[in-house]
Amino acid sequence: MAEIREIEMAEVRKHNSEESTWIVIRGEVYDVTKFLKEHPGGADQLLGVAGKDATKDFNNVGHSSDARNMLAQFKIGVLSSKDNLETSNSSPSKDKEASKSCCILQ
């Protein structure tokens, strides 16, 4: 098993294509490149969050326990302490405001 390392969000952002697809879920970094073709929702779902924190998207879909357990095989690291702190400190009220403006545009 490969050693789990601390990865900065700047590095995660570089992996946002079909050739290299990394996502962050709950502060853990996953390389899901090899899973693109197998993903039940299609590759576009993963590519839409490639290089980003996909925690909300992952949770909103309501993945099964099997799907959550499957993540372990793709884990390559954990988000750096600094980046993880910044992610966890994001204001819920800002998220609500962003989604309100999103809905207004629709």
Mean pLDDT across the chain: 80
Is the pLDDT reported for residue 23 higher than 60? yes
- Mean pLDDT across 70-90: 79
Transcribe 67-82 into DSSP letters: HHHHGGGGEEEEE-HH
Phi (first) and psi of residue 16, to 5 degrees: -130, 40
Structure tokens given for 1: 């098993």
What pLDDT is stored for residue 2 in this prediction?
Answer: 61
Q: Which domains does the chain have, with CATH numbers?
A: 5-105 (3.10.120.10)
What pLDDT is stored for residue 41 in this prediction?
Answer: 82
51-75 pLDDT tens trace: 999 999 988 887 888 888 889 999 9
What pLDDT is stored for residue 103 in this prediction?
Answer: 33
Look at 34 and 89; give whichever has higher pLDDT: 34
